[in-house]
Amino acid sequence: MLRHTTVVAAASLALAGTMLSFAPNPAHAEPTIAVKDVVLTVGAKASQRNLTWLGGVGVDDYVQLVQHKKGKTVSWKGAAVIRPFSAATAGEETGWEYNKVALTKLATRSTYSYRICTAAGCTAEYQFKTTSSGDFSFLVYGDPQVYLGTKTGQNGVVENPSEGWAATLAESTGKVANAAFLMTAGDNVDSYTIAKQPGEWDAFLAPSQVASYPMAPAVGNHDNASNAGYLFNQHFALPNVSNLGTTAAGTGDYWYTYNGTLFMTLNTNSLDFAAHKTFMKQAIKANPKATWRVVSLHHSPFSSADHPNDADVTAIRTTLSPVFSALRINLVIGGHDHDYTRSFLMNGATVASSDADSSLKPHRGQVLYLATNSASGGKFYDLTGPYPWAAVKDQSLKANYTTIEVQSKKLVATTYEVGGRVIDRVSITRAH
């Protein structure tokens, strides 16, 4: 019965893809095997992607991958066959195994089709596109915190985060159809108790976009489930995962590059700041010529609502933000506080410039921080303060998302309310 349900889920994924013009090959038969939670993630660099899915226990699943050629229909004959580099019984519902695959040597500006196969057959077709080299854009989502059903929040807003998350993904990828990847700032799912998370992970990974755009997720305190949240690792094949910063199994800090920019994602459930610093120094040493250094993490050090005075956030602000300045990080993207805050340019925890302009020219060691609001409408915290670091703050009680355009000399971050209003737009030039 379980199997049957998931086969339908795979088919509806492909159907949803049709609306986004990722059309399945009509000649291809309906899927005959059980898979779920199919999700692309960033690879170590722009020519790579990773793929994770849950399939049958002990089943020999593999991926077929085909690059589209101009004027030719997709043929699975002669498709590249890629086998998992990691597969093990999933630590949630019985009867599932997680599988992780690396897709490498991908060409720029290309469309690829893939499907997951076993001896019994193959799933429907999924598609993804690669970008050109050079300038690119990515999308950022704060705390989707997906759970099933609805609740009424503290401000009277009726929350439905699984529907809201799907709506935000649809609007944002419609706006930035060539987004290089989808970054989350953590709290992808809601339950602190791991036993309650499986259905939430299914709902978080249900929108078709997660099989067509690579994700770059952070680990939130909810995902972390009091250091037992190993389902995060089982759902995402991530590049360059370190032992440093690990809380739940496999959730350490990780890094990747995209067209010359270095991205470092920290698991701030770990307050081992020396470990985070060592990790960042290693990542920077491995990528000394990176154009920009961008950090993503869950616990925003500079926000304006419920959490700025929490002990963990205060420790991150006082101890980690000076490290970001010392390591010449350009931009730090966080979540956790379910409001939008753009900081002033900060030197450590100190305001370096009280310029709230939309076009900033940081000096060396000056860092811009963005705290992102909920991307699903799953929870909103009322603004508090004032706080000395807040240049722009907003609580729209509507789901938000942010686009970041990465150019060689400028980063531009634009934050939208779902439905269209621009909440904030800010650019930084490279430090001089």
List of residues contacting Fe ion (CB under 5 A): 143, 145, 187
Minimum CB separation of residue 405 from Fe ion in Å reads 26
Beta carbon of residue 222, minimum distance to Fe ion (angstroms, whole number) = 6
Three-state DSSP class for residue 13: helix
Q: Which residue is nearest to Fe ion (CB)?
A: 187
Min dist CB 13 to Fe ion, Å, is: 26
- 39, 235 in Cβ contact below 8 A? yes
3-state secondary structure of 304: coil
Around Cβ 355, how many Cβ atoms within 10 Å? 14
Nearest residue to 95 via CA among 59, 42, 46: 59
Cβ proximity to Fe ion: between 126 and 381 the closer is 381
The nearest distance, CB 335 to Fe ion, in angstroms, is: 6
Our CB check for Fe ion shows the closer of 145 and 247 to be 145
Give the residue with the Cβ less far from Fe ion, 55 or 142. Answer: 142
- Tell me the HSE value of 122 on the side-chain side, using a 13 A CA sphere: 20
Helix (DSSP H) and strand (DSSP E) numbers for the chain: 8, 27
Respond yes or no on whether the N-terminal peptide bond of residue 386 is cis (omega within 30° of 0): yes
Q: How far is the CB of 224 from Fe ion (least distance, A)?
A: 11
- Here the tokens at position 113 are 């089709």
The answer for 330, left when phi > 0, alpha when psi is -120 to 50, beta otherwise, is alpha
Nearer to Fe ion, 97 or 143 (CB): 143
Nearer to Fe ion, 187 or 339 (CB): 187
Nearer to Fe ion, 61 or 143 (CB): 143
How does DSSP assign 339-394, residue by residue? SEEEEPEEETTEEEE----SEE-PPTT-BEEEEPPBSSSS---------TTEEEEE
Nearer to Fe ion, 34 or 333 (CB): 333
Q: Which is nearer to Fe ion, 54 or 305 (CB)?
A: 305
**CA distance linking residue 157 with residue 68, whole number of Å:** 45
Beta carbon of residue 187, minimum distance to Fe ion (angstroms, whole number): 3
- CB nearer Fe ion, residue 100 or residue 222: 222
Report the C-alpha gap between 277 and 299 in whole angstroms.
16
Give the N- to C-terminal CA distance of the chain in Å, as an integer. Answer: 61
Q: Smallest distance, Å, CB 145 to Fe ion?
A: 5
Q: What is the Cα–Cα distance from 102 to 208, expressed in whole angstroms? A: 20
Residue 412 and residue 135: Cα distance in Å, rounded?
A: 11
Closest approach, Cβ 109 to Fe ion, in A, equals 36
| Closest separation in Å from C-beta 206 to Fe ion | 19
| Nearest of 302, 306, 358, 303 to residue 325 by alpha carbon | 302
Q: In the beta sheet, which residues pair with residue 296?
A: 265, 333
